[in-house]
A and B are shown apart, each in its own frame.
Chain A
Amino acid sequence: MIPLPILLTALVYSFILSLLAMGFTLQYITLSVPNLAYATIAFASTYLTLTFSLMGLTPYVTMPFAFILGGAISFMLYKFVSFLRDRGTSIVGLMMATIVFDLIIYAGMNIYADYLATVFKIYAGSFSLSEFDFKIFSFPAVLFVSGITSISLVVFFTLMLVKTKFGVAMRAVMENYNLASVHGINTERILSTAWFFVGGLAGLSGSLYPIWFAMDPWVGARMFISIFAACVVGGLRSIYGSLLGGFIIAFSEVVVTYLFSIYFPWVWAYRSVTSMVIAAIALVEMPSGIAGLIQKFRGGR
Chain B
Amino acid sequence: MIDLIIDIIAFFCIYAIITLSLNFQQGYTGIFNLGLYFPIIVGAIITAYLPGRLAMIIYGIDSKLDFSANNAVVVSILRSKLSSDPIMSIMLLVLTMAIVALTCYVLGFLSAYPALKLPADYLALFMLCASESLRVIGMQTDWLAGGVMGITIVNPFWWLGGFSYYGMPVFTILATLFIILLYQRMCDSPLGRLLKSIRENELTAESVGKDVNKIKRTTLAFSFTMLGLAGVLHAFMMGAVVVGGYTRVDFSFWPWLMMIIGGTGNNIGVFLGTFGLVLMRRIMIVGKHYFWFLPFNVVWFEPILLAIMLMVTLIFRPEGILPEKSPRIKDYMRKVLKLES
A and B touch in the complex (CB under 8 A): yes
Which residues in A have some Cβ–Cβ distance to B below 8 Å? Answer: 32-34, 36, 80, 84, 89, 91-93, 95-97, 99-101, 103-104, 106-108, 110-111, 114-115, 118, 221-222, 224-225, 228-229, 236, 269-270, 272-273, 276, 279-280, 283-284, 287
Complex contact B136–A272 (CB within 8 A):
yes
Complex contact B307–A103 (CB within 8 A):
yes
8 extra interchain contacts, Cβ-Cβ under 8 A, other than A34-B125, A224-B128, A280-B114? A89-B318, A91-B121, A96-B260, A111-B296, A228-B129, A269-B140, A270-B140, A276-B132
8 A-B contacts (beta carbon < 8 Å): A93-B314, A96-B310, A99-B310, A100-B307, A100-B311, A110-B297, A221-B248, A280-B114
Complex contact B306–A224 (CB within 8 A):
no
Known A106-B303, A276-B129: A115·B296 in contact at CB below 8 Å: yes
Known A111-B300, A114-B295: A93·B307 in contact at CB below 8 Å: no
Complex contact A84–B315 (CB within 8 A):
yes
How far, in angstroms, from A276 to B133 measured CA to CA in the complex?
7
Complex contact B140–A225 (CB within 8 A):
no
Q: How far is the CB of A91 from chain B (nearest CB, A)?
A: 6
Chain B residues whose C-beta falls within 8 Å of the C-beta of A80 in the assembled complex: 311
Q: How far is the CB of B297 from chain A (nearest CB, A)?
A: 6
Task: Annotate B210-248 by CB proximity to A: 1 below 8 A, 0 otherwise.
Answer: 000000000000000000000000000000000000011
Complex contact B314–A107 (CB within 8 A):
no
Known A96-B260, A100-B311, A221-B247: A114·B117 in contact at CB below 8 Å: no
Q: How far is the CB of B36 from chain A (nearest CB, A)?
A: 13
| Closest residue of A by beta carbon distance from B137 | A273
Which residues in B have some Cβ–Cβ distance to A below 8 Å? Answer: 26, 32, 34, 113-114, 117-118, 120-122, 124-126, 128-130, 132-133, 136-137, 140, 247-249, 253, 256, 260, 295-297, 300-304, 306-307, 310-311, 314-315, 318
Q: How far is the CB of B15 from chain A (nearest CB, A)?
A: 17
Complex contact B301–A107 (CB within 8 A):
yes
How far, in angstroms, from A261 to B165 measured CA to CA in the complex?
43
Complex contact B137–A104 (CB within 8 A):
no
Known A225-B133, A273-B133, A276-B130: A104·B124 in contact at CB below 8 Å: no
Q: How far is the CB of B321 from chain A (nearest CB, A)?
A: 16
How far, in angstroms, from A236 to B178 measured CA to CA in the complex?
43
Q: How far is the CB of B47 from chain A (nearest CB, A)?
A: 22
How far, in angstroms, from A224 to B296 measured CA to CA in the complex?
26
How far, in angstroms, from A283 to B140 measured CA to CA in the complex?
25
How far, in angstroms, from A153 to B215 measured CA to CA in the complex?
48
Chain A residues whose C-beta falls within 8 Å of the C-beta of B32 in the assembled complex: 91-92
Q: How far is the CB of A118 from chain B (nearest CB, A)?
A: 5
Closest 6 CB pairs of A and B: A114-B296, A269-B140, A276-B133, A107-B303, A103-B303, A103-B307
